[in-house]
Amino acid sequence: MADYTKMWTDLGLNLDNHDALLENLGGAYQSIFMSQEHRPEGMGYFDFVMSEAHGLRIQELRDEQEAGRKIIGSFCVFVPEELVLAAGCTSVGLCAGADFAQEEVEKVLPRNTCSLIKSFFGFKLGKVCPYMEVSDLIVGENTCDGKKKSFEIFSQMVPNFFQMDLPQNKAPMARKLLKHEYEAFIAKLEEMTGKRIGLEDLKQGIAAVNAKRNALARLSKLRMANPSPISGLDALLINQIAFLDNPVRFTEKVNVLCDELELLVKEKKGVKVENAPRVVISGCPMAIPNWKVPAVIEAAGAVIVGEESCIGERGQRNTTDASADTIDGLIDAVVDRYFKIDCAVFTPNQERVEHIKEMAENTNADGVIHYGLQFCQPYIMESFSVEKTLEKDGVSVLRLETDYSQEDMGQLSTRVEAFVEII
């Protein structure tokens, strides 16, 4: 990587902390990703993006800023990238997947907060996340209690914060609330850019995001093959990078990779042997660099064939209908697309269980591993009904509850190995 010290200093990063984080990350990446066998060549691009995630990509975002674009950071897949692009802005995801500055974090948050929330607080307090520091606006979404209450504190730590309220059920009034919030978000973007979003702008924003989702859907479909042509770890990595990379370039590279995977499927070349145990992961999102559970699963000899997660199917499923010829009609289409997301903060949330079942069927999975972050009430509570419903239908389920630490690695491996053996 080139020398980005000046850029990081200008962004206000703590260089010592940041060096420590990058060293850790680099080591984990080498041992988890680069040691895999039979990786498709197309993964080279994504390895490169990861190696430059804090370098070249941040430089690109700063260049965009110089040219007048605003960078919008967010923590939830309910923030529509279509609207951000339509406003001439760039969207970046800020969820974090590693423990950092935990002592500092526990001075402002209760200890029994989920790792995902503690992590982005740690990245902020430790001054190690260039995406957070480069963002012109940070959007906080009222989803679970942990997120919405922690945003009361987090909003004081950043210069420009926008709170987005989100519904908790799928009633008509809830849809109205979502539309209202998206209109308020549009107004905020327009105020920042000094420019109204036009019909063509929104059409183009929708087209770019639809293309990205179609490419990811193509990737998901290819993973249904037996043997699967790509590891779950690599597929997860691509889904994680979807939140950071330039959307047009990302789409192009995913499609190039899919062309290669199509050939591998035709030749029956897989990342693991044919009929290796196939697993769907379901549950909390796994943000970069949270690769712990997938690494354990694939080290146990299974192949992950789908992620029912916001960094995966739940976040990317469904495109937006771009056929309306008024702005209001397009906003309605955006609302309709996002209103289908079946996050566990919604109640009741039967659709999610149905989707997991459907994914297990479509991918020919031998089992589902439910991944709950410790102290995440929405997903852990739902995991009981997921297990009950799926097992009634003959799908084996393993419920895991963990955090970002490495302390439970031994115990996780033992449980996962036993599960992989019986499925």
Binding mask 171-210 for ligand BJ8 (x = CB under 6 A): ----------------------------------------
The closest of 95, 98, 99 to 139, measured between CA atoms, is 95
Comparing CB distances to ligand BJ8, the nearer of 35 and 112 is 112
From candidates 43, 72, 101, 144, binder to ligand BJ8 by CB under 6 A? 144
Comparing CB distances to ligand BJ8, the nearer of 234 and 403 is 403
The answer to whether residues 398 and 417 touch, using CB atoms and an 8 Å cutoff, is no
From candidates 85, 138, 254, 284, binder to ligand BJ8 by CB under 6 A? 284
> Is 281 an interacting residue with respect to ligand BJ8 (CB under 6 A)?
no
From candidates 49, 72, 116, 125, binder to ligand BJ8 by CB under 6 A? 116
Handedness of CA 44, 48, 49, 50 (dihedral sign): positive
Count Cβ neighbours within 10 Å for each residue of 108-125 and write b for 16 or more, e otherwise.
ebeeebbbbbbbbbbbbb
Shortest Cβ 237–ligand BJ8 spacing (Å): 18
Window 298-317: residues binding ligand BJ8 (CB under 6 A): 310
Q: What's the CA gap between 195 and 215, in Å, rounded? A: 30
> Is 378 an interacting residue with respect to ligand BJ8 (CB under 6 A)?
yes
User: Secondary structure of the chain: what % helix, strand, coil (to 5)?
Assistant: 55, 10, 35
Chain mean position to CA 376: 16
10 Å CB burial of residue 62 (0-12, 13-18, 19+) is middle
Window 20-79: residues binding ligand BJ8 (CB under 6 A): 76-78
Comparing CB distances to ligand BJ8, the nearer of 277 and 372 is 372
The closest of 113, 106, 199 to 148, measured between CA atoms, is 113
Binding mask 333-372 for ligand BJ8 (x = CB under 6 A): --------x-x-x---------------------------
Instruction: Tell me how far CA of residue 397 lies from CA of 30, 94, 368, 400, in angstroms.
Output: 30, 30, 5, 10
> Is 283 an interacting residue with respect to ligand BJ8 (CB under 6 A)?
no
Query: Which residues are near ligand BJ8 by CB under 6 A?
Result: 76-78, 114, 116-117, 143-144, 146-147, 284-285, 310, 341, 343, 345, 373, 376, 378-379
